[in-house]
Amino acid sequence: MPEHPLTKNMAEFTLLKKKKGVPIARNSFIQLTKLSNVKGRITYISSHAKQENLYAVYETTERKFWRELAKCNQEEFAKSGTEGKCIEARELIIALPESFVEYPPDRLLKLFTEHFKQNYGTECIAALHHNKRKTNYHIHLIFAERKLLDEPIIKTASRNMFYDEKGKHVRTKKEILGEDGEIRECCHIVKKGEIYEKKLFTVKDERFKSNSFLDEVKRSYTDLINLYVKDEKQKLQVFQRGSVYLATKKIGKRNPKALEIETDNRKRQEWNRAVDMALISGIPEPQIMEVKQKRISEPIKSAISRKGSKPNLFAKVVTMAIEALELMIETVLVKKYKESLEQKEQLQKTDASDMEPVMPETERSEVKNKEQEESQPEPKQPEMTRMASKYPRFYKIYNELEQQNNAIYKKEKQRSAKKKELSEIKGWFKGRKKKELQEEIDDLTSQIRNMKDYLPKIVQKVGYRSVQEFLKDFKTAKSEYSQYQKAIAQWQQETGKEPEPQPHGVRAKLAANRKKIEQEQKNTQRTRSQSKDRGAR
């Protein structure tokens, strides 16, 4: 494996930490909640008396709509006989970058609210807030799950109609009478000619209940936020469910479990660093996902169902999963190392006599002439795709990732050897030696952590937010570049010509156009001079 000096990596890592403008991966925060009292919630988010830092309120319909909506939902809920609370509406909380305070609050809120209504066609009411410390700029957006009908459905009773305590329609008056012959409490009669049913709304839209809805909204609003972000460092990304990574949790103000969440977050980051190493080593994503599912998701779910939520449970489970992943990484890297040694040995054994015999020049020219006579019109030179043109640059980045990965692996082997040496030392009189070894282990652990932290920085320098995101584009570019090389080789075989360089990017194309114009000018001048010479003769 190629050497990769630690000092060089750490110097670059320190420089990156100090350097401004390096994009740091930040996930967007959009939360969805159910509302069982929509009228009360609207009052709370839109009232200056209840909100210290309320900047704007925007409504797509009148307040009467929400009163009617709440009534409709409560009636439907009562008819269904479902236990629990009635869901009258839903609310999105959308965190905004702090730089958005520069935009006019009214226009900003209108933009975000109309964006939702345009996408989903439902009525909304939204409010733009700051928290008390003015560190969290956010939008509360309440939306309806039902739409108003084009024409309300009104039904009138053709005869007296009787309803029991549960609101269920019964056939005769006798069924709602008590022993004393009077109508029982909560039972009622709808007289002939009176309205017994009035429908103003459609049924609830089921897509708002689906798991994919929140992911869809997150992507949509993250894209909208990124359109208006001026500083590249503040651009956001959506943390994908089902990703190989583990998402870190946000720690709210005065959260009693802040220390526990912080400990879990550190363990999540350790897993994510191990995932980066696994991806660079060449372990397929499905295998990493399988480890995550079987070693983290399933054990945590099973343990919680049996014993409930316990502190340190998550950290222990993730530690075991990291060890399983590191074992897979070691197996792959050892295999790669052996293959590279075998390839070197094979190259050394290769003799010039084993090479393919060269076709004599006369025979080659005869074959070439024969092929040209029999062939169709000369084919056009294959064009390189945009992703294929990026492959040489991507390869350098990938090579740097591999070197860093290998360097980390070597440091981990050194640490394992030190740990083994420490475990074999016996006797109280060797305390000084134990202390020295433990200090070396701690120092190696710190170096390894910093080296792993540097891995995502390598791809962030070129605009990618994670190693996974870069490797997807790298594989695409590699595939398209390989296809281009095959197409060029076939074209050369058919035409016998050398390929012309293909410009990519604005500057390269401008340079190529300039060169083409200069060449045309030279050809024109040459033609004119030849014409003058003929005239003089």
pLDDT in tens, 276-319: 999 999 999 889 988 998 888 888 888 877 777 676 788 888 99
Average pLDDT over residues 223-229: 89
Mean pLDDT of the 74-80 span: 85
Query: What is the reported pLDDT for 3?
Result: 39
Closest-CA residue to 3 (of 486, 411, 432, 394): 411
Beta bridge partners of 177: 183
Residues 205 and 533: their CA atoms lie apart, in Å, by 84
Do 198 and 71 form a contact (C-beta atoms < 8 A)? no
Q: What is the pLDDT of residue 104?
A: 94
Does the pLDDT value for residue 9 go beyond 80?
A: no
The two tokens of residue 21 are 């403008």
Question: Band of the pLDDT at 14, cuts 50, 70, 90?
Answer: very low
Question: What pLDDT, on the 0 to 100 scale, is given for residue 13?
Answer: 35
Residue 178 backbone phi and psi in degrees, to 5:
-90, -175
At residue 90, φ and ψ (nearest 5 deg) are -130, 155
In single-letter form, the type of residue at position 82 comes to T
Residue 84 scores a pLDDT above 80: yes
**Using one digit for the tens of pLDDT, what is the confidence trace for 393-407?**
999 999 999 999 999
Name the residue among 443, 383, 455, 385 with its Cα closest to residue 418. 443
Q: CA 449 → CA 13, 278, 455, distances in Å? A: 12, 15, 10
Nearest by Cα to 148 from 76, 68, 207, 79: 68
Q: Which residue would you say has higher pLDDT here, 506 or 66?
A: 66
437-493 per-position pLDDT tens digit: 999 999 999 999 999 989 888 988 887 878 888 998 999 999 999 999 999 888 888
d(CA 105, CA 55): 6
- pLDDT of 7 higher than 60: no
What number is the average pLDDT over the span 159-187? 86
- What was the pLDDT predicted at 508? 52
- Please give the structure tokens belonging to residue 156: 């009138």
pLDDT tier, 34 (very low <50, low <70, confident <90, very high otherwise):
very high
Are 189 and 178 a contacting pair, CB within 8 Å? no
Contact at 8 Å (CB) between 299 and 319? no
Which of the two residues, 407 and 377, has the higher pLDDT score?
A: 407
Q: Supply the DSSP string of 482-515, one letter for each residue.
A: HHHHHHHHHHHHHH--PPPP---SHHHHHHHHHH
Query: Is the separation of the CB atoms in 101 and 233 below 8 Å?
Result: no
Sign of the alpha-carbon torsion through 495, 499, 504, 506: negative
Buried/exposed code over 69-93 (b: 16+ C-beta within 10 A; e: otherwise): bbebbeebbeeeeeeeebbbbbbbb
Closest by Cα among 235, 181, 237, 183 to 469:
237
Q: What is the mean pLDDT of the chain?
A: 81
Using the predicted structure, report yes or no on whether residue 105 has a pLDDT greater than 80. Answer: yes
Tokens of 131: 């928290």
> Which has the minimum average pLDDT: 52-66, 72-86, 311-325, 348-362?
348-362
Determine the distance from the C-alpha atom of residue 368 to the mean position of all C-alpha atoms in its chain, rounded to a whole number: 53
What percent of the chain stands above pLDDT 90?
29
What is the structure's pLDDT at 88? Answer: 95
The SS3 of residue 159 is coil
| Cβ contacts of 450 within 8 Å, gap of 6 or more | 10, 13
Question: Distance between CA 128 and CA 46 in Å, rounded?
Answer: 9
Classified as helix, coil or strand, 242 is coil
Which 3 state secondary structure label does DSSP give 433? helix
Region 187-216 average pLDDT: 85
Of the pLDDT bands very low, low, confident and very high (cuts 50, 70, 90), residue 166 is confident
- From CA 102, how far away is CA 105, in angstroms rounded? 8
Q: How many Å apart are CA 334 and CA 326, to the nearest integer?
A: 12
Place of tokens 């798991």: 211
pLDDT tens-digit profile of 499-528? 777 655 444 554 555 666 666 667 767 766
Q: Is 92 helix (H, G, I), strand (E, B) or coil?
A: strand
Residue-level pLDDT at 23: 44
Stretch 255-280: mean pLDDT = 87
